[in-house]
Amino acid sequence: MTETQALLSAQEAKHATQLDYLRRILLAPIYDVVVETELTQLTKLSARLNNQIYLKREDQQAVHSFKLRGAYNKLNSLSEEQCIHGVIAASAGNHAQGLALAANKLGIKATIVMPKTTPEIKVDNVRRFGAEVRLVGNSYNEAQTAAIEYAKAENKTLIHPFDDIEVIAGQGTVAKELLQQLPNADVVFIPVGGGGLLAGMAVYLKQLSPSTKIIGVEAQDSACLKAALDAGKPVDLEHVGLFADGVAVKRIGAHTFELIQHYCDEVMTVSTDEICASIKDIFEQTRVIAEPAGALSLAGLQKYCQTSKGDEKLAAILSGANMNFHTLRYVSERCELGEKKEAILAVTIPEEKGSFKRFCQALGNRTITEFNYRYSGKPSAEIFVGVRLDGSVQERQELLQGLVSANYQVRDFTDNELAKLHVRYMIGGKNPSNAEDSKKERLFSFEFPEHPGALEKFLDAMGEHWNITLFHYRNHGAAFGQVLAGFDLDKNQQEAFFKHLDALGYQWQEESDNLAYQTFLN
């Protein structure tokens, strides 16, 4: 075969794949359980961002997520033999509920393996749809391993949540509806976890509306697609963030990655704060509380608008609304930071009467959201202050310049994660043991999966060999627990201490040089 013939053969194979997926999406028999969801124009956000912004409302499905589409399409494709012993899947969220309802509608016995840490509301929903629930392990990976073993031992058919042709085609029906509702969209933003939704939508949109730009949106701490694109193949992330649990995937799918490489124009990442800000925007426009993964694509859309030309038709997919209620505390705290509507500052003021009042006067008519102070007996004091802003970079700069002009020493901690997660909630002054020559306080942040007893398990793992000088933990309803801990360590202890940290199995990072710590706690 000549080089030209080989190239033509590859092009023909690609064309055949395109047509096959197009056919599967167009003929997907899902609408006896799936509803065609609305495309809602976000008028207030459109005016604010100078674009026509639309939200595809997958929260309107019976399981409040798009996952029902792929699960039902997959089960419809199974033979009678594949269904005799039932189907099985591992999931702690939307795939579990989608598969449970799909199996119930088709009269197929379904078993869902879920981590023991899964919120009770999700377990109850899966059981309500008629599926058997088996609680195994404390993580998705442990549940997945168990599901594979159960499938082999009990001859059950394993249903993958995203890396399956029929699942991908089912998710692609979102694009079919979107194109009918908004035929001339300029850009479509699609959330990325394992890639099933992005792959299915992209392969459909690029064939029928090739001028539409397709942007995949990932959480910064779960960017498995970006890692795969950089490596040229799917790779495992060492860690994934758990806040946007619906997209907390360590490795992009093989099928999904191949399609995304061909049909997706761009991939971008967004922060937790930006996701929280979009959850708030969705609520204010629709009165729907999106889950973090559900608001991911709108966060990407808003980030895109910061540098785009404007006056475009932009669509984002609200992929799910299965929010753990207690997570709202965390979302509420972080959304203003995502919108840049709060500045977090460290300001040095004279330790004398009237200093607080004069500082407040220097802020003008701005609202103070937080004010922390601890007397230290020194000529000057460090205060930790939060100030409400209008969201513009210009106002934040004007605030900083105004304080500097008033002869205040100011440090901006608005983008300092340690300050936002821990320092703002801590009081008590600095560590007196740092005056000793023999020991030195060193600071570390830790992250672990949140579940009942998680903090106790963490403390057991830390052991009792080192003196803890500082400790901050706050259960704010997120899927992960975060601890800030200080330890008095002499030189002889350090080697053993770091070996112990490496053996813990928790994600950790030293924060001893963090400016927020050096300013307020050290």
Catalytic residue annotation: 67, 319
DSSP codes of every residue in 408-444? -EEEE-TT-HHHHHTGGG--S---GGGG-SS-EEEEE
What are the distances in angstroms from CA 109 to CA 15, 66, 158, 310, 312? 37, 21, 12, 50, 47
Amino acid residing at 399? L
Return the closest-CA partner of residue 420 out of 305, 294, 276, 240.
276
Query: 10 Å Cβ neighbour count for 163?
Result: 19
Question: In angstroms, rounded to a whole number, what is the distance separating the alpha carbons of residues 520 and 513?
Answer: 12
* Strands of 147-293, DSSP E: 157-158, 187-191, 213-219, 266-270
For the chain, give me the number of helices (H) and strands (E)? 20, 18
Query: 10 Å Cβ neighbour count for 374?
Result: 14
Which residues are CB-contacts of 158 (< 8 A; sequence separation ≥ 6)?
87, 88, 89, 147, 148, 151
| C-beta of residue 138 within 8 angstroms of C-beta of residue 451 | yes
Tokens describing residue 443: 């600071």
Which residues are CB-contacts of 34 (< 8 A; sequence separation ≥ 6)?
61, 68, 69, 72, 173
Tokens describing residue 262: 């061909």
Question: In angstroms, rounded to a whole number, what is the distance separating the alpha carbons of residues 35 and 293?
Answer: 21
Query: 10 Å Cβ neighbour count for 245?
Result: 25
Query: 10 Å Cβ neighbour count for 83?
Result: 17
Question: In angstroms, rounded to a whole number, what is the distance separating the alpha carbons of residues 230 and 105?
Answer: 41
What are the distances in angstroms from CA 317 to CA 17, 178, 191, 514? 25, 10, 7, 37
| C-beta of residue 69 within 8 angstroms of C-beta of residue 173 | yes
Amino acid residing at 225? L
The 3-state DSSP class for residue 262 equals helix
Tokens describing residue 315: 């669509």
Which residues are CB-contacts of 121 (< 8 A; sequence separation ≥ 6)?
324
